[in-house]
Amino acid sequence: MCPKQFIDLIDPQSSAVDTEMARALLKEFAAAHIYRSATVEELVLKDEYFRRPLRPEDLAFIDFSTLIDRDSSSSLSALATHRMLLCINDAKRIRLPRNREREWDSFLEFYSDRNRVLGEMMRPHLEYHAFHSFEESTREVAGSLASLVALALETSELRNEAEVRQARLVASQPGGTEKQRMQLVQFFGLAEERYVALQNIANAWLSDVPEAATAAQTWLGNIGVSKERVSAYLGYPIGSHSCWQFYLAGTMATANLLHYLCSSGRNVFQSLGALLFSRIAQDAFLRQNSRWMAEEAGDPMNPEALKAWIQSLVTPVANRWGPSVWVDVCSGFRLSALMQDIADQDLRRQLSWISGLDRYRRLAGDIQDKIDREQIQIDRETFVEPREMCSTTHVHDDHRLVVIESGEMVFWAAPGMRICLSPGEKILVPCQRLHGSSVLSEVCVYHQPIIPEDWINPHIADTLVSALAH
Ligand SMILES: [Fe+2]
């Protein structure tokens, strides 16, 4: 690589980026042993923080040249991008292995110069791919204390309403247990990453503005997130990225966005907006779930307290660096709110699918009947896989049936889920829904017909509506 190619790579807005070279570097990054695809025993990882299955084989064909937007926010490209960014961000902070004997080699590889330098080389490219279109759509042109307070109060209401709807969906049957695990894995699995990103500002440049730093620390110093307690409640481990395979792209995007905003000079004041939004979002989540987490929930802020906190957090910064700070803070806040909205949408669709799995199985049968009855020629992939062949969780960018011809398969779309599929059985996997599988028999032969959008969209919409009606 010549210096010019390298400079183009770290300036992603440059039209001269060689996308195939970028792909080759991503493949090099993901070729580390810790990033290999998972075995069936690795569906849930215990004390293996550095083991991050990335499905490196997918990097040969994923499109990283088209910026992620709302429609593609849960695509395979988004999932791969955010899994890699999460690894790159986590590698900035040394964390010792819990189990020296088992984890030492992975620990050394995770923090190796090769892993960290390759990751940092690719970070600008991945962050541009992940966030640029959203940044463009949330850029503010004006801002003031009054407009920021109004935005925060309005958003606080909206977050409370969103959490009420989500709690209703989680509590509905069927699939209540799996849905609750999925929801809590999203929130608590990455809570530490969000906290670490926010501490980057509180402990760094903000400490030059003592009043603002104190305001930040009054919240950051009191985030009481106990993954052990949540794991005990769920009867399922969620710490140390044990449920790595079940993080949705939307969830990882919210954590990676905080690292993006809180680690660069360009976004220095936007990061205050991200911090403010994070507090509002966390308050709303914990308030809704406080029946069993009273200790963590604390007292929700009333509007007056919220206004006072904003004033003590941002006003001293604006007084020192000028009124454009308010514009940047509003932009960072709006961008954070948008990414949370997208994460909610991703989770809502996954939960709705989990709720409606029986219906999706019946729908798969109806679709297969239609294909057979009308003798429709349809694109399909066929797989012949041996016992314990495992598919690390992934999404498809199209709707697919999984139709078992012979053998047995176990299929999952949430922590703890096990759906056994026998010959003749089938399931519909909607576009961009996270899932994985493994083979239970000596050999399993199965087909994946690719289903046109207009065949199933009305049915998916019905399922979503009925799930939300609970
Ligand atoms: Fe699949």
Would you kindly state where each structural domain of the chain is located, as residue ranges? Answer: 3-125, 142-355, 357-468
Structural contact between residues 433 and 353, judged by C-beta atoms closer than 8 angstroms: yes
Structure tokens belonging to residue 286: 């914990």
Residue 153 scores a pLDDT above 70:
yes
- CA–CA gap between residue 330 and residue 13 (Å, rounded): 24
In this structure, are strands 435-439 and 419-421 parallel, antiparallel, or unpaired?
A: unpaired
What letter represents residue 347's amino acid? L
The answer regarding whether domain 357-468 maps to CATH 2.60.120.10 reads: yes
State whether residue 338 is helix, strand or coil: helix
Residue 459 scores a pLDDT above 70:
no
Ligand 1 centre to CA of 368 (Å) is 17
pLDDT of residue 465: 46
- CA–CA gap between residue 59 and residue 27 (Å, rounded): 6
Q: Which CATH class is domain 142-355?
A: mainly alpha
Ligand 1 centre to CA of 381 (Å) is 11
Structural contact between residues 221 and 318, judged by C-beta atoms closer than 8 angstroms: no
Going by pLDDT thresholds of 50, 70 and 90, the confidence category of residue 291 is low
Q: What is the pLDDT of residues 230-280, one digit of tens each?
A: 787 777 888 889 999 999 999 999 999 999 999 888 899 999 999 999 999
Q: What is the mean pLDDT of the chain?
A: 90
Ligand 1 centre to CA of 350 (Å) is 14
Ligand 1 centre to CA of 247 (Å) is 16
Going by pLDDT thresholds of 50, 70 and 90, the confidence category of residue 290 is low
Using CB atoms within 10 A of its CB, is residue 469 exposed (0-12), middle (13-18) or buried (19+)? exposed
Instruction: Count CB atoms within 10 A of the CB of residue 281.
Output: 23
Q: What is the pLDDT of residues 63-103, one digit of tens each?
A: 998 999 999 999 999 999 999 999 999 999 999 998 888 89
Give the count of alpha carbons within 13 A of 19, CB side only: 12
pLDDT of residue 201: 87
State the average pLDDT over residues 139-149.
93
State whether residue 359 is helix, strand or coil: helix
Ligand 1 centre to CA of 438 (Å) is 11
State the average pLDDT over residues 202-231.
82
Query: Full-prediction pTM beyond 0.75?
Result: yes
Counting DSSP H helices and E strands in the chain, the numbers are 17, 8
Ligand 1 centre to CA of 33 (Å) is 23
Ligand 1 centre to CA of 24 (Å) is 24
pLDDT of residue 469: 44
